[in-house]
Structures are given as structure tokens and as C-alpha cells.
Amino acid sequence: MRDLTRHPELLSLNTATVRERWTLLQIIEGCARHGIRAIAPWRDQVGACGLEAAAKLIRTHGLRVNGYCRGGMFPAADLAGRAKAAEDNRRAVDEALALGAECLILVVGGLPPGSKDIAGARQQVRDGIAALLEYARPLGLKLAIEPLHPMYAADRACVNTLAQANDLCDALGVGVGVAVDIYHVWWDPALQTEIARAGRAGRILGFHVCDWLVPTTDLLLDRGMMGDGVIDIARIRGWVEAAGYGDCVEVEIFSAGNWWKRDPDEVLQVVRERYATVC
């Protein structure tokens, strides 16, 4: 297993971690100050900055963009909705390329409004990724399916296990892989097996960390800093590395009640420290 203290360059900041108090410009400058060499920005932040300005800033600071957040949200109630989602996803691919991003993260979407048909939503997701892949593959941009915790099955993503994501990748072929976010998958009894399976196929495109707090007071915005919860992060990183993954460890913390309220410079300091000591 890698000694992360010797690889500070592999720490990536998902910009959501400090999004409440900093703009993308401030985040990029903050990363420069703290020696963070990779980021995973969100579309709305890039939009607020302007795509070209963001791309230039990122180049100027020599940052890697290990992932772009996010495409997906495929299921819709009707064909017009699906077409709109498809178009928006192609734009996300274009933006990712403009930013020099290494993959587009897919949060695939949940049930369309009023629907109880999760099998149907899953079929829409499969069709949606297949279509997007036709667009992204010739452009050389990889798509990363991120399985989300089952508590988001209804409203955010109906791909809820790494097994499901692996099955999708098997079916869809070259150009699509997975992002392993421990917050979403840490509980899964099949996790080690499915990480190994993803690794054998060479399709682990990202490894995201934070922590599961006990108690968790909000389904979306109460993620913990690495080390403050119950996930054995180092063990899971060991599995990912044993499966051949040797790239970024991306920190992504949604925390309305705690980390989002703090001074982002303090947050980045803690992130760096925990990256080296806990992950």
C-alpha cells in the first residue's frame, strides 16, 4: 500500500468540500496555498466562473482535474425529458474536455417524478449511459459511474452498489468505468469482491473519501471528515490499491452543519492532515 505522506500530489479536493464560502477562483487559489495539486470541480461553480476563465485558471495553476462533477440524472417522465437530459450530458462532456478533466462523474439519477418503477429507471440509466458513451468515446473522455448509497435510490441515483456499476460497465464496454466513493459503498458485504472485479477490468477511475458519522443527522449534508466516523478508510484503500488503482484520493465532504461553516483554510489544513494520517 502506498504511503500517502510521500504522495501529497495525489490528494484531490472535490470542490463541494468548501463550496459554501469560496468561489471556484478562491478554491483554486486556496489549493495553491495548501499544496493541493488536483481538484474535482462542479458544473455550477464552473458556470459561475465561466468555462473559459475556469479552464485558464486551472491551467495557470497547473492543477489536475481528476474528475468533473457531474453528468447523469438520466431518468425522466417522458421522451422530451430524456432528450433534454441527454443534451445536457453532452454539454457536460464538452465542458469536461475544455477543463482537461480526466473523467466525467455520473450520478445517474433516481425515479422520475411520480414513478415507482425502479427497474424502469435503471433501464433508462443504462440506455442513457450507452447513448452518452457514443458521444464521449470518440472524444476520448471517460465516464465514471458512481454508485450512490441506497438511501439515494429514489431521488439521486438508482445505481446503488458497485456490483450494479460493474454489471453496467460489462454491458456497455470501453470508455466507462466506476468511481468508488467509500461513503456510498462502505457497508456493502460484496465491496472487496467488487473492487477486485473493477480492478481486473481496469475500470476504477476514482476513489473518493470522507466518513460516515454516527449519528448521521441528515441524509445528504452530514458527511464527516476522514477519521471522525466509522469507515475503515485505509482498509478500503488497501483493496482499491490491491486492485491496481494508484491514482488520486479525492476528498468530498458535504457538511452543512460543520465543515461548510468553518474557515475554508482551516478545512483544507485538516483535509491535508487527515489525508496523510487517516486515509
Binding site for a second copy (CB under 8 A): 111, 115-118, 122, 149-151, 153-155, 158, 160-161, 163-164, 186-189, 212, 214-217, 219, 229-232
Q: How far is the CB of 144 from a second copy (least distance, A)?
A: 19
Q: Which is nearer to a second copy, 122 or 208 (CB)?
A: 122
Contact 98, 135 (CB under 8 A): no
**Least separation, in Å, of the C-beta of 233 and a second copy?**
9
CB 14 within 8 A of CB 208: yes
In whole angstroms, the minimum distance from the beta carbon of 194 to a second copy comes to: 13
Q: What is the rounded end-to-end Cα distance, in angstroms, of the chain?
A: 11
Shortest Cβ 145–a second copy spacing (Å): 14
Complex with a second copy: residue 22 or 183, whichever CB lies closer: 183
Beta bridge partner(s), residue 249: 11
- How far is residue 52's CA from residue 63's CA, in Å, rounded to a whole number? 15
d(CA 227, CA 278): 6
117 versus 263: smaller Cβ distance to a second copy: 117
Rounded CA separation 114/99 (Å): 36
What is the residue-wise DSSP string for 178-211?
EEEEHHHHTT-TTHHHHHHHHHHTT-EEEEEE-B
Cβ at position 178, least distance to a second copy in Å: 15
* β-strand partners of 65: 39, 101
State in angstroms the smallest separation of the CB of 202 from a second copy. 24
For a second copy, the closer CB: 86 or 153: 153
Q: Closest CB to a second copy among 230 and 242? A: 230
Cβ closer to a second copy: 20 or 155? 155
Strands 38-40 and 176-181: unpaired
Locate 211 and state its grid cell.
Answer: 466518513
